[in-house]
């Protein structure tokens, strides 16, 4: 313990008596305004909020409704605003819509049960026996069990004798050993002979 204390005292004494700046990093010569020496290595870099151009540091103009990013070298728009050239424009959210992440393109998305057109949110028309889906492609609805989709409607499945609705709920299959033939469930020729 005594040995460690003596070592610490020697280091402290060397630091106090050493010439000023002996342990300091090299400072870049000729720093431009709004710049600072690099923490690692030689040279300089612009201070937060400034951008370097031709050996000078110019202030980054942050527009109204904007802020400097975490690095301090670019600007971003506040929530509810999008970059438009050199400004932040308010995002116009249509009726039945809400603000979305900026990565969504328009900056807004439609509420459940609505689909985005160019500037609006239009209600998804779900037919009788239909079920609303969250899918962003297709019609926005599917048919319930026992129905199949046509262009704008759900039509009840006609289940033939000796058949049943399949696992998906939207088609028919024949009971074994019956097979589909001309919309009916018929016994295969070999099974009829037995």
The tens digit of pLDDT for each residue in 61-113 reads 999 999 999 888 889 999 999 888 889 999 999 999 999 875 556 789 999 99
pLDDT the model gives residue 103: 55
Mean pLDDT of the chain: 82
Instruction: Pick the more confident residue, 168 or 21.
Output: 168
Residue that is written with structure tokens 């069990």 in the block: 145
Where does the pLDDT of residue 20 fall: very low under 50, low under 70, confident under 90, or very high at 90 and above?
A: very low
In this prediction, residue 65 carries a pLDDT of 95
Per-residue pLDDT band at 128 (split at 50, 70, 90): very high
Residue 22 confidence (pLDDT): 41
User: If pLDDT is split at 50, 70 and 90, which confidence band does 23 have?
Assistant: very low
Tokens at 153, concatenated:
């409607």
pLDDT score of 4 more than 60: no
Instruction: Phi first, then psi: give them for residue 100, nearest 5 degrees.
Output: -120, 175
What pLDDT is recorded for position 21? 44
- Domain borders along the chain are 91-122
- The structure's pTM equals 0.56
């Amino acid at each position: 313990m005594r040995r460690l204390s003596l070592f610490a005292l020697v280091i402290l004494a060397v630091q106090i008596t050493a010439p000023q700046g002996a342990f300091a990093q090299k400072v870049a010569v000729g720093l431009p305004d709004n710049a600072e020496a690099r923490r690692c290595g030689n040279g300089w870099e612009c201070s937060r909020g400034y951008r370097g151009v031709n050996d000078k540091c110019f202030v980054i103009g942050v527009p109204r409704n904007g802020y400097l990013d975490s690095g301090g070298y670019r600007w971003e728009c506040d929530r509810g605003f999008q970059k438009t050239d050199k400004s932040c424009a308010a995002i116009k959210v249509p009726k039945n819509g809400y603000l979305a992440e900026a990565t969504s393109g328009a900056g807004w998305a439609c509420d459940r049960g609505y689909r985005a057109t160019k500037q609006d949110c239009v209600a998804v028309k779900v037919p009788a026996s239909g079920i609303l889906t969250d899918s962003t492609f297709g019609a926005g609805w599917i048919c319930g069990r026992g129905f199949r989709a046509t262009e704008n409607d759900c039509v009840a499945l006609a289940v033939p004798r000796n058949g049943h609705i399949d696992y998906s709920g939207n088609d028919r299959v024949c009971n074994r050993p019956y097979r589909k033939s001309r919309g009916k469930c018929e016994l295969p020729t070999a099974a009829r002979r037995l």
